[in-house]
Structures are given as structure tokens and as C-alpha cells.
Structure 1
Amino acid sequence: MPVLAGAEPFSHTASTEVGVLLCHGFTGSPASMRPWGRYLADLGHTVRCPRLPGHGTTWQECNRTRWTNWYDCVHTEFETLARSCESVFVFGLSMGGTLSLRLAQQLGDAVAGLALVNPSVLTLRKDARLLPVLGRVLPSVKGVGGDIAKPGVIEPAYARTPVRAAASLSRLWKLVREDLYKVTQPMLLMHSVVDHVVEPVNSRVIAEGVRSTQLTEVLLYDSYHVATLDNDAPLIFERSAEFVRSVRQVAA
């Protein structure tokens, strides 16, 4: 299956001290994480950003994948980093944040810290309850990609949302919400004040549900959902680098 231009996975091998796993969002691709990855690589960190199964190709292919496929992908990439780096951090955008939380729940102290941007664990949309039923009769609905405030910036994402895959994402949300108490790692939680895709309540539920003693929240006032490509991207990059340094200092 041909991969869309810009949606290719990327990696950078450098330091054996710090590795960072970047996880992109639902119907998106590594393109949304590439500037963040470059920034981290320039700091000397080892970086990996996989293309999740069913992403960066066609929404029809995405409909043939499930959350377990996406999780297995990031878990494998994490293990690769863990074999070569002393500390491995997981950074995620949107559903990438959901997957990051699941890694933290399953892997415990092996995850050095989490930096999440507009992570999702639920939706308030009433029609979301119908996803399992709709998936049997409706292949796709209007896409959710490209929610960016900065003029002229386009996110390579699907124009349609694959309904069966979205139903699987909702099942992942439920599991992650139920296990939020298992998250004890240091966390940097960055979320947009205006987000047309993931409601702000998501970050509140996460902040109140985890047991991280080192939890820092950063409000993004000048970006929409895909904040890693938006006006607040430099702030996200800088704060995430500070976060890695602070966690490493405490652990030393």
C-alpha cells in the first residue's frame, strides 16, 4: 500500500542516555510529529516515530485495523528504544496520547515520563455511542484532521474518518480511563484552550485520574487540536525538552 507523501515513519539515533518515542494521532501520520522529532534530535536525543498501522495510506485500510494493532506497533518501538537508551520517554498527540498512557499503564517504571498534547480518553458527542452499530452500515464519516489555527499549515490526514476504526478507538478509551490510576510516571500535560476535535474535559479527566506526583499542565492559547504544527509548537518543544531535563535531574 503506497504511503502518502510526508507520512513516512522517521527515526534518529544519537544519545544512549535519552530515547523519545513519538506517537501520532488517529487518522493522522508521523507528519504531525516530524518538527517535534527534529527538535529533539537536534538536542542529541534518540528519536523514533512509527507510522501506525492503517495510517498514512487510505482510510479504507485504517478501517481494517484495530487499537491492538496500533498499540502493538508503539510497544515494539518502545522495546527497541529501551534496548539502547538508559531512559525512554513517550510523547503523544491526541490518540497518540491515549497510546502513551496505555504504555505507561502496562510498562510501569520502564517509561521515564510522558509528554501529552491534547490527549483523548473520551468524547462528549452523543453519536459516538452508536459507533459499534454505525460501523456495520456506514464505512466512514467526515474527517477530523487539519484542526490548526495557523494560516497556511495543512496536516496530511484522511478526509474521511473510518467508522469501524473509530469504534475500536472508543474501546481503547474505556480501558485507558479505567486504568488511569496505574499512571504514576512524571507527566507534562499540554492542551489547547480551543480544540475542535478533543474536548478539554479529556485533560481534566486525565489529570484527576492519574497518580503522577510530578504533573505539570501547560495551556496552549494560540493553537487548535494539532498543536504540534500550530502556533504553540515552539512552546511545546521547549517545555518538553525542559521536562526531560527535570525528570533526569530528579532521577540522578
Structure 2
Amino acid sequence: MRIGGFIVSAALALVVGVSTPAVAVARETAAHTPKVTAKAAYVVDSTGTIHFGKQETTRLPVASLVKVMTAYVVLREARLSDTITITATDVKYGSRDGATTAGLKAGERLTVRDLLYGLLLPSGADAANALARRYGPGRTAFVAKMNRAAQSLGLDNTRYTNADGMPDPDDGTSTAVDQARLAQHLLESSTFRTVVGTKVHKVAKSAVHRAHTWHNSNKLLSQASGVLGVKTGYIRAAGYCLLFAGERGGEQVVGVLLGGKSSEGRFTTAEQLLDYAGDQITGR
């Protein structure tokens, strides 16, 4: 089934309001269940089978996982060949409050395709602002589009207040379940899969922009086999977050960790959860 330019599988039908069989829950083996110290966690595969859950419907800040929805809106609104001129406001916005940036400079002109890499690999707040400014147009209108998209996808416990996930006076929140559903939907996009599965993206210098080299902050791509992406996040209020996906036992497995205690710990735990889900799948 194709909806809004994305191919929707049966496992994703709940996201778009199509009826499906009841969701199965994998039987846990206590001796092999990974220890998860994050505040919330959730792991589900492409058949809809839930392999792990911990406070998965609790509303929490998700830091830069917000940028996954930013990418979703941009992919619906933009052409990848569109060119955006970076402004001084984008640069200033990206450098506030210790935000991570893509190192953009005012006056540069970059394609939407390249800005998606700048958004999702180094988690550039400057890239997020440039995209929101163009495709809102303006941040307020863009955030409204993010929230309408969340509603249309059935993310009932998600509310966005900006396009980058940085601290906000009226912080938005989401849940592990909602973030997994969003990732499942976006992973149907070949463009998104390519971007989040890339370890390093280089933009060669040209007459209209500087050279850029962006490294993916998702260390799970190098740490484990069969990893597809997806996105890291951190602010003090949210802790260390990770939205991750991989292939195990012939199925796509998507997981979420929110409120983690350490940067490295989230990657180790995610690998354990992927392997745990794989054991459950192959043992069916």
C-alpha cells in the first residue's frame, strides 16, 4: 500500500490507521533479557511483535530524535535538488546553548539532499533551522506541520515545539512507542535509509559552498552488524537517547532508548537489544 509517497507494510498499518491482526508480544527469557538502565525502551520488529518494553508509553523529552520528524516533513515538502542559502540566523541559531552543528556558514548554498545529511549525521541544529525556515516557511509554521504529521501518523502522545530538539521554554515530548512508529514509517523511504545508514558524508567544495565532512554520531553503525541507522540525541533534560534499527532473523527490528545514563551505554544496550530480538525471531 502506498500512502503519501511511502510504501506502507502491514506492520506499519497501525501507524496510518489501517486494520491489522493483533500485535504479538515475544515471550521473554529472563536469563537472557538485556539489562536496560534507560528510563524508557521499546523494541518491535516488522511483523509487529514487541520484543522489549519499559515505560514505553511514558511521555519524555527526546532531544535530537526530533530531527527525524524534521526529515519526514522535509521529504514530503521538498525536492532533494532544491537549493537553500544559509543565513546568519541559521548559523547563530545552530550555535546556541551548546547545540551540535553541521558547521554551516552564512551565504553557502546547499541542496536539500546535502542538508539532510547535515541534519541527521552530525545532528546540525543549523541545518534544522535552514530547512524549517524554508519549508514552514518559518519555524512556527514548520513546527505546526510537524505536529499535524504526528497526528496523521497516529503519534498521539507526541508534541513538537521546535525542529531540532534543543531545550525550549515549552518543551515537547514523545514516547518510545511513538518514536519507533515514526522510524518504521520513515525507513520505507529509500532516501531516508540511505542517509541514516551513511557513516561519513562529504560535500566537495564548489563555487557556492564550502567543503564539508559529516560523521554519523550513531556509533552503532560501526559497532554492530546489520544496522540500518537511525538517530542519536542528547540534552540534559532528556539524557542520552537513541533511535535504532537493524536486520535480524530476516526481519527489520526498530528500537528506542530514552533517558540513558551514558553515551556509550546506549550503543552497547542497543546492540544487546537487537541481538535479543534476533534470538526471539529465530526461535519462533
The bucket for the TM-score relative to the shorter chain is under 0.3
Q: Higher relative CO (CA 8 A, sep ≥ 6), structure 1 or 2?
A: 2
Q: Which has the larger radius of gyration?
A: 2
- Provide the TM-score with structure 2 as the length reference: 0.26
- Provide the TM-score with structure 1 as the length reference: 0.28
Bigger share in helix: 1
